[in-house]
Amino acid sequence: MRSCPSWFGPPSTASTPQIGANSADRAGAPNPRNGNDVATHGWEPVTGEHAWLLAVGTMAVSIVLSVALFLTKVIRWRLARARAQRRALYIGALGEMLARGVQTDDVRRWAKDPVFIEVVVEYMQTVAGDERDRLERIVGLGDIRPRLASRLLSANPGTRLGAASSLAVLADRTVGWVLLIALRDRLPEVRIQAASGLSSIKSVVAIPRLIDLLENDDAWVSARIADQLVHYGSEAVPHLLDAVRRGATTGALKPATVQLITRVLGLVGDLRACPVLRPLLDHTVPEIRIAAASALGSAGTVDAVKPLIRSLRDPDWRVRARAAAALGTFSAPASVRPLFIALDDGSWWVRQNAAEALTEIPGGREALVDAISYGSAGAREASITQLGLSGSIRAARDRLERGEADPLEQRLISLIDRIGQKVRHAS
C-alpha cells in the first residue's frame, strides 16, 4: 500500500525516491541524512513531523490574531457607539438648558467627560447674547476651565492637545498662566492652540513670547503664530516694530521672520508701521520687498508714495505688481504717470494692477483712455479689462444713451465701439 504524504500525518517509513536528480547530482548536494553535512552546513533536517507541527502552529497563530482583530473592532465599535450616544444626550441637554435658562447639578458630573467638554466648545462657537451668558455660567458650574488647565499639564500628548484645543475657544484670564506654559510644549499643535487662546484674551504678556516663537520655531508653526498676532491688532504693533528695529541693528533677525512680521503689520494696518516698512522696499531679499510693498498699501502714509513709485522699477515683477496695487490706495496724482508707464510692463500682473490702480486715482481714467487710444496691445488690453471690471464702460454707455456723457466718456465709448468693429471684421 502506498504511503500517505508526510504533511497529512506522521512520516512514512517507506523510502522516498528522489525525482529528477541523478547520482552525480546527489553526490555533490548536502544530504540531510549525512551527519557530516549537518555539521558543515549548520541546519537540521526538516522531517514530516516537524512540517506538520509548523503548519498547526501557523494556523493557531492565525486564528488567535483573527479573533483578536475581531474583538478589537467590536470593542472600538461599541466605544464609538457609546460616545455618540453620550454626545447626543449632551447636545440635547445643553440645548434645553440654554433655551430655558435653567441649570442642573449634573453638569459637575458631566464635566468630567471629555465628550461633554467638546459639546460645550461647539456651542460656545455658535451661540451669542443671552445664550452665551448662560453657557458661561454652565462652564463655571462645571469648573471646566480649571479641569482643562490641569489636563494641559498632563504627560499624555493627546490629553494636552485636546485641552489646548478646547482652551483656544474657552480661554479667559484665569487660564492665561497655563497657556503661557504651553507655548513651550514639545508638540507644535499644542503651541499653536495655546497661542490662539492667548490671542483670544489679548494677553499682552504673551506677545514677546509669541514673537520669539515667530523667530525660532519651524516655518509652519511660525506662520500660524503670525496669524494669531494679527488678532492682537494694534496692541502687537509696538512689539513687532521693536523686533524689526533690533533685527535691522544687529542683523540677528532672519529674513523669513522679517517677512512674517511685515505681513502681520500689513494685515493690522496700523500707520505707525510706515517708517519701518519703507526701508524694507530696498531689502536684498525679494520676498521681504514684496511683503513690504503689500503692507504699505494698508499701513502706509503718503510718505510711502515715492518709495512705491521707485519700486515700480524693481527687477522682480512681483514687487512691481504689489507696488502698483499699493499705489492705488493712496489716490496720489503723482503716481498717475509712473502707473501709465507701468501699463507697458512685460508682466501681465503688473499691467493689470497698474490699470486697476489708475481706476482709483483722480486723472487715472484719462490715462487709461489714452492707453486704449495709442498704447501698446498689452496696455490697451489691461485698460479695457479694468475699466470694464470697475463699471466705467457700462456707466459711460448709459450716460451716453441719456445724453449726459462728458467728452471723456464719449471718447471711451467711441474707442470701445471702434475696437469692437475691428474684432467683428477680423472674425
C-alpha cell at 293: 510693498
Question: For residue 12, what pLDDT is reported?
Answer: 45
Q: Per mean pLDDT, which range of 42-51, 129-138, 224-233 is the poorest?
A: 42-51
Q: Is the pLDDT of residue 1 over 50?
A: no
**287 — pLDDT class (breaks 50, 70, 90):** very high
Q: Per mean pLDDT, which range of 37-46, 291-300, 398-407, 413-422 is the poorest?
A: 37-46
C-alpha cell at 320: 512691481
Across the range 274-302, mean pLDDT stands at 94
Question: For residue 261, what pLDDT is reported?
Answer: 94
Listed as own residue / partner, the contacts of 227-234 with beta carbons closer than 8 Å and 24 or more positions apart are: 228/192, 228/195, 228/196, 228/198, 228/199, 229/199, 229/264, 230/264, 230/267, 230/268, 231/199, 231/200, 232/199, 232/202, 232/207, 232/268, 233/268, 233/270, 234/268, 234/270, 234/272
* Residues sharing a CB contact under 8 Å with residue 155, sequence separation 6 or more, in sequence order: none
Q: Per mean pLDDT, which range of 55-69, 155-169, 265-279, 295-309 is the poorest?
A: 55-69
Question: For residue 25, what pLDDT is reported?
Answer: 46
Across the range 392-406, mean pLDDT stands at 93
pTM: 0.75
**47 — pLDDT class (breaks 50, 70, 90):** low
Across the range 96-113, mean pLDDT stands at 87
pLDDT tens per residue across span 13-38: 444 444 444 444 444 444 544 545 54
Q: Per mean pLDDT, which range of 65-79, 207-221, 230-244 is the poorest?
A: 65-79
Q: Is the pLDDT of residue 7 over 50?
A: no
Domains of the chain: 338-427 (1.25.10)
Question: For residue 156, what pLDDT is reported?
Answer: 95
**403 — pLDDT class (breaks 50, 70, 90):** very high
pLDDT tens per residue across span 313-343: 999 999 999 999 999 999 899 999 999 999 9
Q: Is the pLDDT of residue 149 over 60?
A: yes
**104 — pLDDT class (breaks 50, 70, 90):** confident
Question: For residue 71, what pLDDT is reported?
Answer: 84
Question: For residue 321, what pLDDT is reported?
Answer: 97
Q: Which helix (H) or strand (E) holds 198?
A: helix 188-200
Question: For residue 14, what pLDDT is reported?
Answer: 44
**5 — pLDDT class (breaks 50, 70, 90):** very low
Asked if 182 and 191 count as a contact pair (C-beta separation under 8 A), the reply is yes
Question: For residue 3, what pLDDT is reported?
Answer: 45
**248 — pLDDT class (breaks 50, 70, 90):** low
pLDDT averaged over the chain? 87
Question: For residue 43, what pLDDT is reported?
Answer: 52
Question: For residue 246, what pLDDT is reported?
Answer: 83
Question: For residue 72, what pLDDT is reported?
Answer: 87
Question: For residue 31, what pLDDT is reported?
Answer: 52
Question: For residue 274, what pLDDT is reported?
Answer: 96
Alpha-carbon distances of 414 from 273, 368, 373, 391, 395, rounded to whole Å: 45, 14, 10, 16, 14
Q: Per mean pLDDT, which range of 22-36, 71-85, 88-102, 191-205 is the poorest?
A: 22-36
Q: Per mean pLDDT, which range of 10-14, 211-215, 301-305 is the poorest?
A: 10-14
Question: For residue 249, what pLDDT is reported?
Answer: 62
Question: For residue 180, what pLDDT is reported?
Answer: 96
C-alpha cell at 394: 457700462
